[in-house]
Amino acid sequence: MAKVLGIDLGTTNSAMAVFENGEAKIIANKEGKNTTPSIVAFTDKGEILVGESAKRQAITNPEKTIYSIKRIMGLMMSEENAKEAQSKLPYHIVDRSGACAIEVADKTYTPQEISAKVLMKMKEDAEAYLGETITDAVVTVPAYFNDAQRKATKEAGTIAGLNVLRILMSQLQQHLLMVLIKKMLSRS
Amino acid sequence: MSQENENLEESQAEEVLEEQEQTEETVEVDPLETAQAEAAEYKDKYLRAHADFENSKRRLEKDKMNAVAYANESFAKDILAVMDSFENALASMENSGEDSSEVLANMKEGVNLTFEQLKKILEKNSIKEVSCEGEFDPEVHQAIMQVESDDHEVGDVVQVMQKGYTIKDRILRPAMVSTCK
Protein backbone atom coordinates (compact mmCIF):
# COMPACT_ATOMS: atom_id res chain seq x y z
CA MET A 1 0.00 0.00 0.00
CA ALA A 2 1.59 3.23 -1.15
CA LYS A 3 2.04 5.92 1.44
CA VAL A 4 0.62 9.41 1.12
CA LEU A 5 3.12 12.13 2.03
CA GLY A 6 1.76 15.05 4.04
CA ILE A 7 3.71 18.23 3.30
CA ASP A 8 3.47 21.51 5.14
CA LEU A 9 4.88 23.85 2.51
CA GLY A 10 5.82 26.87 4.58
CA THR A 11 7.02 30.37 3.69
CA THR A 12 10.23 29.93 5.68
CA ASN A 13 10.42 26.21 6.45
CA SER A 14 8.70 23.08 5.24
CA ALA A 15 8.00 19.81 7.01
CA MET A 16 6.61 16.44 6.08
CA ALA A 17 4.88 13.49 7.70
CA VAL A 18 3.40 10.12 6.91
CA PHE A 19 0.70 8.13 8.59
CA GLU A 20 2.25 5.06 10.13
CA ASN A 21 0.64 2.51 12.44
CA GLY A 22 -2.24 4.83 13.20
CA GLU A 23 -0.05 7.82 14.01
CA ALA A 24 1.35 10.78 12.14
CA LYS A 25 5.11 10.56 11.98
CA ILE A 26 7.29 13.53 11.07
CA ILE A 27 10.01 12.49 8.67
CA ALA A 28 13.45 14.02 9.09
CA ASN A 29 15.24 15.20 5.97
CA LYS A 30 18.52 13.83 4.64
CA GLU A 31 20.40 16.17 7.00
CA GLY A 32 18.50 14.73 9.97
CA LYS A 33 16.35 17.81 10.63
CA ASN A 34 12.57 17.84 10.98
CA THR A 35 12.24 21.04 8.99
CA THR A 36 13.77 22.04 5.68
CA PRO A 37 14.27 25.73 4.83
CA SER A 38 12.03 26.63 1.87
CA ILE A 39 14.99 28.13 0.03
CA VAL A 40 16.29 27.44 -3.45
CA ALA A 41 19.61 28.81 -4.70
CA PHE A 42 21.19 28.88 -8.14
CA THR A 43 24.97 28.95 -7.86
CA ASP A 44 27.45 30.48 -10.28
CA LYS A 45 28.55 26.97 -11.16
CA GLY A 46 25.06 26.14 -12.35
CA GLU A 47 24.17 23.99 -9.36
CA ILE A 48 20.77 24.18 -7.70
CA LEU A 49 20.83 24.03 -3.90
CA VAL A 50 17.73 23.38 -1.84
CA GLY A 51 17.21 23.74 1.91
CA GLU A 52 19.94 24.13 4.50
CA SER A 53 22.83 24.48 2.02
CA ALA A 54 20.94 27.15 0.07
CA LYS A 55 20.41 29.05 3.32
CA ARG A 56 24.09 28.88 4.28
CA GLN A 57 25.26 30.55 1.11
CA ALA A 58 22.41 33.12 0.98
CA ILE A 59 24.56 36.08 1.94
CA THR A 60 27.08 35.40 -0.83
CA ASN A 61 24.40 35.05 -3.48
CA PRO A 62 21.44 37.33 -2.64
CA GLU A 63 20.07 37.75 -6.16
CA LYS A 64 19.98 34.06 -6.90
CA THR A 65 18.85 32.76 -3.52
CA ILE A 66 15.09 32.47 -3.61
CA TYR A 67 13.33 32.46 -0.26
CA SER A 68 9.77 33.30 0.81
CA ILE A 69 8.57 32.36 -2.68
CA LYS A 70 5.20 31.56 -1.12
CA ARG A 71 4.60 35.30 -0.80
CA ILE A 72 4.14 35.61 -4.55
CA MET A 73 2.70 32.16 -5.22
CA GLY A 74 -0.23 32.46 -7.62
CA LEU A 75 -0.23 36.27 -7.52
CA MET A 76 -0.72 38.67 -10.44
CA MET A 77 1.78 41.53 -10.75
CA SER A 78 -1.06 44.02 -10.36
CA GLU A 79 -1.85 42.80 -6.83
CA GLU A 80 -0.79 44.85 -3.83
CA ASN A 81 1.00 41.93 -2.16
CA ALA A 82 3.07 41.33 -5.28
CA LYS A 83 4.23 44.95 -5.36
CA GLU A 84 5.17 44.83 -1.71
CA ALA A 85 7.12 41.60 -2.17
CA GLN A 86 8.89 43.07 -5.18
CA SER A 87 10.07 46.04 -3.16
CA LYS A 88 11.26 43.92 -0.22
CA LEU A 89 12.78 40.77 -1.66
CA PRO A 90 16.35 40.91 -3.00
CA TYR A 91 15.77 38.72 -6.05
CA HIS A 92 14.09 39.91 -9.26
CA ILE A 93 10.34 39.54 -9.46
CA VAL A 94 9.19 40.01 -13.04
CA ASP A 95 5.94 40.07 -14.99
CA ARG A 96 5.20 36.93 -16.99
CA SER A 97 1.98 37.53 -18.92
CA GLY A 98 0.53 39.31 -15.92
CA ALA A 99 1.56 36.73 -13.33
CA CYS A 100 4.45 37.00 -10.89
CA ALA A 101 7.61 35.16 -11.84
CA ILE A 102 11.24 35.47 -10.88
CA GLU A 103 14.30 36.06 -12.99
CA VAL A 104 17.54 34.29 -12.18
CA ALA A 105 20.57 34.49 -14.46
CA ASP A 106 18.48 35.51 -17.50
CA LYS A 107 15.98 32.70 -17.00
CA THR A 108 12.49 33.11 -15.65
CA TYR A 109 10.89 30.70 -13.26
CA THR A 110 7.34 30.61 -11.96
CA PRO A 111 6.85 30.45 -8.17
CA GLN A 112 5.41 26.99 -8.83
CA GLU A 113 8.68 25.84 -10.35
CA ILE A 114 10.68 27.14 -7.38
CA SER A 115 8.35 25.53 -4.84
CA ALA A 116 8.50 22.32 -6.86
CA LYS A 117 12.23 22.14 -6.16
CA VAL A 118 11.54 22.26 -2.43
CA LEU A 119 8.78 19.67 -2.78
CA MET A 120 11.06 17.47 -4.86
CA LYS A 121 13.73 17.47 -2.17
CA MET A 122 11.10 16.60 0.44
CA LYS A 123 9.84 13.79 -1.76
CA GLU A 124 13.33 12.41 -2.36
CA ASP A 125 14.27 12.56 1.31
CA ALA A 126 11.01 10.86 2.30
CA GLU A 127 11.58 8.15 -0.30
CA ALA A 128 15.09 7.56 1.02
CA TYR A 129 13.71 7.27 4.54
CA LEU A 130 10.75 5.04 3.69
CA GLY A 131 12.51 2.99 1.04
CA GLU A 132 9.60 3.26 -1.35
CA THR A 133 8.44 5.50 -4.16
CA ILE A 134 5.98 8.23 -3.27
CA THR A 135 3.47 9.51 -5.76
CA ASP A 136 0.60 10.88 -3.68
CA ALA A 137 0.71 13.87 -1.38
CA VAL A 138 -1.41 16.23 0.65
CA VAL A 139 -0.07 19.80 0.72
CA THR A 140 -1.08 22.56 3.12
CA VAL A 141 -1.77 26.17 2.24
CA PRO A 142 -2.68 29.11 4.51
CA ALA A 143 -6.40 29.60 5.04
CA TYR A 144 -6.20 33.03 3.37
CA PHE A 145 -4.98 31.57 0.07
CA ASN A 146 -7.42 32.20 -2.77
CA ASP A 147 -8.24 29.74 -5.54
CA ALA A 148 -5.41 30.92 -7.80
CA GLN A 149 -2.89 30.52 -5.00
CA ARG A 150 -4.19 27.07 -4.12
CA LYS A 151 -4.15 26.02 -7.75
CA ALA A 152 -0.55 27.25 -8.04
CA THR A 153 0.43 25.21 -4.98
CA LYS A 154 -1.12 22.15 -6.54
CA GLU A 155 0.77 22.82 -9.78
CA ALA A 156 4.02 22.98 -7.81
CA GLY A 157 3.27 19.48 -6.56
CA THR A 158 2.58 18.25 -10.08
CA ILE A 159 5.89 19.67 -11.35
CA ALA A 160 7.62 17.86 -8.49
CA GLY A 161 6.10 14.61 -9.71
CA LEU A 162 3.52 14.38 -6.94
CA ASN A 163 -0.13 13.61 -7.39
CA VAL A 164 -1.63 16.16 -5.01
CA LEU A 165 -4.73 14.54 -3.55
CA ARG A 166 -5.75 17.50 -1.45
CA ILE A 167 -4.80 21.05 -0.71
CA LEU A 168 -5.40 21.70 2.96
CA MET A 169 -5.75 24.88 4.94
CA SER A 170 -2.89 24.88 7.39
CA GLN A 171 -4.88 26.01 10.45
CA LEU A 172 -6.54 22.66 10.36
CA GLN A 173 -3.49 20.74 9.34
CA GLN A 174 -2.49 19.32 12.71
CA HIS A 175 -5.66 17.35 12.99
CA LEU A 176 -7.25 17.14 9.61
CA LEU A 177 -4.22 16.31 7.54
CA MET A 178 -3.78 13.07 9.32
CA VAL A 179 -7.46 12.22 9.33
CA LEU A 180 -7.50 12.76 5.60
CA ILE A 181 -4.44 10.69 4.99
CA LYS A 182 -5.99 7.92 7.04
CA LYS A 183 -9.13 8.05 4.94
CA MET A 184 -7.18 7.98 1.72
CA LEU A 185 -5.06 5.08 2.87
CA SER A 186 -8.07 3.02 3.79
CA ARG A 187 -9.60 3.77 0.41
CA SER A 188 -6.61 2.81 -1.71
CA MET B 1 0.03 -63.29 -2.03
CA SER B 2 -2.67 -63.82 0.48
CA GLN B 3 -1.23 -61.15 2.73
CA GLU B 4 -1.20 -58.73 -0.15
CA ASN B 5 -4.82 -59.47 -0.84
CA GLU B 6 -5.66 -58.92 2.75
CA ASN B 7 -3.88 -55.60 2.71
CA LEU B 8 -5.72 -54.63 -0.44
CA GLU B 9 -9.03 -55.55 1.07
CA GLU B 10 -8.23 -53.67 4.21
CA SER B 11 -7.31 -50.50 2.38
CA GLN B 12 -10.43 -50.78 0.23
CA ALA B 13 -12.52 -51.20 3.32
CA GLU B 14 -10.92 -48.14 4.82
CA GLU B 15 -11.63 -46.16 1.70
CA VAL B 16 -15.28 -47.13 1.85
CA LEU B 17 -15.42 -46.12 5.47
CA GLU B 18 -13.86 -42.78 4.70
CA GLU B 19 -16.30 -42.22 1.89
CA GLN B 20 -19.18 -42.95 4.22
CA GLU B 21 -17.81 -40.54 6.78
CA GLN B 22 -17.42 -37.87 4.16
CA THR B 23 -20.99 -38.22 2.99
CA GLU B 24 -22.17 -38.14 6.58
CA GLU B 25 -20.22 -34.95 7.18
CA THR B 26 -21.63 -33.16 4.19
CA VAL B 27 -25.07 -34.10 5.27
CA GLU B 28 -24.69 -33.05 8.88
CA VAL B 29 -22.55 -29.87 8.66
CA ASP B 30 -24.36 -26.66 7.99
CA PRO B 31 -22.28 -24.37 5.69
CA LEU B 32 -23.34 -21.38 7.77
CA GLU B 33 -21.94 -22.99 10.89
CA THR B 34 -18.64 -23.78 9.12
CA ALA B 35 -18.44 -20.20 7.98
CA GLN B 36 -19.21 -18.93 11.45
CA ALA B 37 -16.62 -21.22 12.99
CA GLU B 38 -14.08 -20.02 10.42
CA ALA B 39 -14.98 -16.41 11.08
CA ALA B 40 -14.58 -16.89 14.81
CA GLU B 41 -11.20 -18.52 14.24
CA TYR B 42 -10.04 -15.69 12.01
CA LYS B 43 -11.29 -13.10 14.46
CA ASP B 44 -9.37 -14.79 17.23
CA LYS B 45 -6.25 -14.90 15.10
CA TYR B 46 -6.69 -11.25 14.14
CA LEU B 47 -7.12 -10.16 17.75
CA ARG B 48 -4.01 -12.05 18.79
CA ALA B 49 -1.95 -10.70 15.90
CA HIS B 50 -3.20 -7.19 16.60
CA ALA B 51 -2.36 -7.49 20.29
CA ASP B 52 1.10 -8.77 19.38
CA PHE B 53 1.54 -5.86 17.04
CA GLU B 54 0.42 -3.32 19.64
CA ASN B 55 2.74 -4.86 22.21
CA SER B 56 5.76 -4.83 19.98
CA LYS B 57 4.94 -1.27 18.93
CA ARG B 58 4.91 -0.22 22.58
CA ARG B 59 8.11 -2.11 23.27
CA LEU B 60 9.80 -0.51 20.27
CA GLU B 61 8.73 2.92 21.49
CA LYS B 62 10.19 2.18 24.92
CA ASP B 63 13.41 0.84 23.40
CA LYS B 64 13.64 3.93 21.26
CA MET B 65 13.21 6.25 24.26
CA ASN B 66 15.89 4.35 26.14
CA ALA B 67 18.17 4.44 23.12
CA VAL B 68 17.72 8.21 22.86
CA ALA B 69 18.17 8.76 26.58
CA TYR B 70 21.39 6.76 26.80
CA ALA B 71 22.72 7.29 23.30
CA ASN B 72 25.49 9.54 24.56
CA GLU B 73 26.58 7.14 27.29
CA SER B 74 29.78 5.93 25.61
CA PHE B 75 30.66 9.46 24.53
CA ALA B 76 30.03 10.75 28.06
CA LYS B 77 32.30 8.03 29.44
CA ASP B 78 35.11 9.09 27.08
CA ILE B 79 34.66 12.72 28.10
CA LEU B 80 35.15 11.83 31.78
CA ALA B 81 38.86 11.34 31.02
CA VAL B 82 39.08 15.01 30.07
CA MET B 83 37.31 15.94 33.28
CA ASP B 84 39.93 13.93 35.23
CA SER B 85 42.74 15.71 33.42
CA PHE B 86 41.39 19.13 34.37
CA GLU B 87 40.96 18.11 37.99
CA ASN B 88 44.52 16.78 38.10
CA ALA B 89 45.78 19.99 36.53
CA LEU B 90 44.02 22.14 39.11
CA ALA B 91 45.30 19.95 41.95
CA SER B 92 48.90 20.11 40.68
CA MET B 93 48.66 23.90 40.45
CA GLU B 94 47.65 24.04 44.11
CA ASN B 95 50.65 21.93 45.07
CA SER B 96 53.22 23.62 42.84
CA GLY B 97 55.91 25.95 44.13
CA GLU B 98 56.32 29.69 43.98
CA ASP B 99 58.06 29.87 40.61
CA SER B 100 55.31 31.27 38.40
CA SER B 101 57.18 30.69 35.11
CA GLU B 102 57.53 27.01 35.97
CA VAL B 103 53.81 26.79 36.86
CA LEU B 104 52.91 28.45 33.59
CA ALA B 105 55.12 26.10 31.57
CA ASN B 106 53.64 23.06 33.27
CA MET B 107 50.14 24.39 32.80
CA LYS B 108 50.75 25.01 29.12
CA GLU B 109 51.96 21.47 28.65
CA GLY B 110 48.98 20.13 30.60
CA VAL B 111 46.43 22.11 28.61
CA ASN B 112 48.07 20.94 25.40
CA LEU B 113 47.90 17.30 26.47
CA THR B 114 44.26 17.66 27.51
CA PHE B 115 43.46 19.32 24.19
CA GLU B 116 45.04 16.42 22.31
CA GLN B 117 43.11 14.00 24.51
CA LEU B 118 39.82 15.71 23.71
CA LYS B 119 40.66 15.77 20.01
CA LYS B 120 41.25 12.01 20.08
CA ILE B 121 37.94 11.43 21.84
CA LEU B 122 36.06 13.50 19.27
CA GLU B 123 37.82 11.61 16.48
CA LYS B 124 36.94 8.28 18.08
CA ASN B 125 33.30 9.38 18.13
CA SER B 126 33.41 10.28 14.43
CA ILE B 127 33.42 14.03 15.09
CA LYS B 128 35.71 15.71 12.59
CA GLU B 129 36.73 19.28 11.95
CA VAL B 130 35.45 20.85 8.74
CA SER B 131 38.18 21.91 6.33
CA CYS B 132 37.99 25.61 5.49
CA GLU B 133 40.70 25.72 2.84
CA GLY B 134 39.88 27.12 -0.58
CA GLU B 135 36.43 27.38 -2.02
CA PHE B 136 33.29 28.11 0.00
CA ASP B 137 31.11 24.99 0.28
CA PRO B 138 27.52 25.61 1.45
CA GLU B 139 27.25 21.98 2.56
CA VAL B 140 29.67 22.61 5.45
CA HIS B 141 30.24 26.39 5.60
CA GLN B 142 27.90 29.13 6.74
CA ALA B 143 28.67 32.45 5.07
CA ILE B 144 28.17 35.32 7.48
CA MET B 145 29.81 38.10 5.51
CA GLN B 146 31.63 38.97 2.34
CA VAL B 147 34.93 40.81 2.35
CA GLU B 148 37.37 42.27 -0.16
CA SER B 149 40.62 40.36 -0.42
CA ASP B 150 43.53 40.50 -2.85
CA ASP B 151 44.99 37.21 -1.69
CA HIS B 152 41.89 35.12 -2.41
CA GLU B 153 39.84 34.13 -5.42
CA VAL B 154 36.20 35.21 -5.58
CA GLY B 155 34.09 32.74 -3.63
CA ASP B 156 36.96 31.48 -1.49
CA VAL B 157 36.89 31.31 2.28
CA VAL B 158 38.83 34.27 3.69
CA GLN B 159 38.48 33.98 7.44
CA VAL B 160 37.07 31.37 9.81
CA MET B 161 35.18 32.91 12.73
CA GLN B 162 34.18 29.61 14.26
CA LYS B 163 35.28 26.13 13.27
CA GLY B 164 32.73 23.66 11.98
CA TYR B 165 32.36 19.98 12.78
CA THR B 166 30.76 16.93 11.19
CA ILE B 167 29.50 13.85 12.96
CA LYS B 168 29.66 10.76 10.75
CA ASP B 169 28.08 11.84 7.46
CA ARG B 170 26.08 14.70 8.95
CA ILE B 171 26.97 18.27 9.69
CA LEU B 172 27.10 18.94 13.42
CA ARG B 173 27.84 22.64 13.13
CA PRO B 174 28.77 24.49 9.95
CA ALA B 175 31.92 26.60 10.03
CA MET B 176 31.18 30.33 10.26
CA VAL B 177 33.22 31.95 7.53
CA SER B 178 33.64 35.11 5.51
CA THR B 179 34.02 34.77 1.77
CA CYS B 180 35.81 36.81 -0.84
CA LYS B 181 33.62 39.00 -3.05
Q: DSSP string of A92-110?
A: EEEEETTEEEEEETTEEE-
Nearest one of B85, B65, B175, B88 to B129, comparing CA atoms: B175
Q: Does B143 touch chain A (CB under 8 A)?
A: yes
Q: pLDDT tens digit string along A76-109?
A: 999 999 999 999 999 999 999 999 999 998 899 9
Q: Which of B143, B171, B174 sits opposite A60 (nearest CB)?
A: B143
Whether the predicted model's global pTM rises above the 0.80 cut: no
What Cα–Cα distance (Å) separates residue B8 from each residue in B3, B11, B16, B144?
9, 5, 12, 96
Q: pLDDT tens digit string along B122-158?
A: 999 999 999 998 899 999 999 999 999 888 888 899 9
Return the percentage of chain B with pLDDT > 90, whole number.
57
For residue A45, the chain B residues in CB contact (below 8 A) are: none
Binned at pLDDT 50, 70 and 90, residue B7 comes out as low
B residues 25-54 lying closer than 8 A (beta carbon) to A: none
Query: What pLDDT does residue A188 have?
Result: 52
∠ Cα A159 A160 A162 (to 5°): 100
Whether residue A119 has pLDDT greater than 60: yes
- Residue A26, classed as helix, strand or coil, is strand
Q: Does B121 touch chain A (CB under 8 A)?
A: no
Picking from B136, B145, B156 by the largest number of A CB atoms within 10 A of its own CB, the best residue to mutate is B136
SS (H, E, C) A54-91: HHHCHHHCHHHEECCHHHHCCCECCCHHHHHHHHHCCC
Whether residue B1 has pLDDT greater than 50: no
Min distance A25 CA to chain B CA atoms (Å): 13
* Maximum distance among all Cα pairs of chain B, rounded to whole angstroms: 119
Which residues have CB under 8 Å from A56's CB, separation 6+?
B138, B139, B141, B142, B143, B174
Whether residue A56 has pLDDT greater than 90: yes
Min distance A177 CA to chain B CA atoms (Å): 23
Phi, psi of B81 (to 5 degrees): -60, -35
> Do A54 and B146 count as a contact with CB atoms less than 8 A apart?
no
For residue A49, the chain B residues in CB contact (below 8 A) are: 138
Q: Does B176 touch chain A (CB under 8 A)?
A: no
Phi, psi of A159 (to 5 degrees): -60, -35
Average pLDDT over chain A, rounded to an integer = 88
> Do B146 and A60 count as a contact with CB atoms less than 8 A apart?
yes
Query: What pLDDT does residue B105 have?
Result: 86
Q: pLDDT tens digit string along B71-107?
A: 889 899 999 999 999 998 888 877 776 677 888 888 8
Rounded distance, CA B100 to CA B2, Å?
Answer: 118
- Contact status, residue A38 vs residue A45, Cβ threshold 8 Å: no
Which residues have CB under 8 Å from A37's CB, separation 6+?
A12, A13, A14, A51, A52, A54, A55, A67
Q: Does A39 touch chain B (CB under 8 A)?
A: no
